[in-house]
Chain A
Amino acid sequence: EDQVTQSPEALRLQEGESSSLNCSYTVSGLRGLFWYRQDPGKGPEFLFTLYSAGEEKEKERLKATLTKKESFLHITAPKPEDSATYLCAVLDSSASKIIFGSGTRLSIRP
């Protein structure tokens, strides 16, 4: 069964404390893996698309990486404004099915 699992469910960090969020997936062929950020009461905001193992994308303090079974979202020296829920989604090779994970709630303390 196709599945996307994100861990941890919640993560609390001190400002400046770097860490990584994990998204593991099982899907019948990967067309693309997407990362989104969602603030409370708002729609998800698109961050990155990764297409193949070994690919990396960066934006400010965030870097997303991809292997054949999982993706990591690395957060370097986070700030309180990075607090949000981070969602991962995968699109299967036929582009017929998109599956979202449950997300990781990230909280950065000043």
Chain B
Amino acid sequence: ETGVTQTPRHLVMGMTNKKSLKCEQHLGHNAMYWYKQSAKKPLELMFVYNFKEQTENNSVPSRFSPECPNSSHLFLHLHTLQPEDSALYLCASSQDRQEQYFGPGTRLTVT
């Protein structure tokens, strides 16, 4: 595997489900990010981790819970989501907050 990988690529879940998104980077970077991308809106930064420590939480609802067990892996735990949470969720990594390398994204649909 190279670059940044994300699983699953597509996810459909009900509002009462619990699911997790996984991201892995193979670039040796020290920072990882979660973004939300909705139609016709700019990328919304959700969480930032530097050296496994969370450094930013941009007013994200508590139904989204990030986890970074090491500098190569990042998870986004989802719980009791709303239909408006349906979007493309992108993971990215970078070295020292420089240019970011993105994964392919997880297309999430909340029914």
**Of B13-21, B38-46, B61-69, B73-81, the one with at least 4 CB within 8 A of chain A:** B38-46
CB of A83, distance to nearest CB on chain B (Å): 17
Q: Are B97 and A98 in contact (CB under 8 A)?
A: yes
Residues in A with CB closer than 8 Å to B4 are: 43
CB of A29, distance to nearest CB on chain B (Å): 14
DSSP majority for the A interface?
Answer: strand
Q: Are B100 and A46 in contact (CB under 8 A)?
A: yes
Q: A4 — nearest CB in chain B belongs to which residue?
A: B42
Q: Are A42 and B45 in contact (CB under 8 A)?
A: no
| Interface range, A side | 20 to 34
Residues in B with CB closer than 8 Å to A34 are: 99-100
Task: Count residues on chain B whose CB falls below 8 Å from chain A CBs.
Answer: 21
Q: Are B90 and A43 in contact (CB under 8 A)?
A: yes
Measured in the bound complex, the distance between the Cα atoms of B42 and A4 in whole Å is 10
Interface residues of B (CB under 8 A from A): 4, 6, 40-43, 45, 88, 90, 92, 96-105, 107
Closest CB pairs A-B (n = 4): A43-B102, A100-B43, A95-B97, A102-B42
A-B contact pairs, 28 of them (CB 8 A): A31-B97, A36-B102, A41-B105, A42-B104, A42-B105, A43-B4, A43-B102, A43-B104, A43-B105, A44-B90, A44-B100, A44-B102, A45-B102, A46-B99, A46-B100, A46-B102, A49-B98, A87-B43, A89-B43, A91-B97, A91-B98, A95-B96, A100-B42, A100-B43, A100-B45, A101-B42, A102-B40, A103-B42
Interface residues of A (CB under 8 A from B): 4, 31-32, 34, 36, 41-46, 49, 87, 89, 91, 95, 98, 100-103
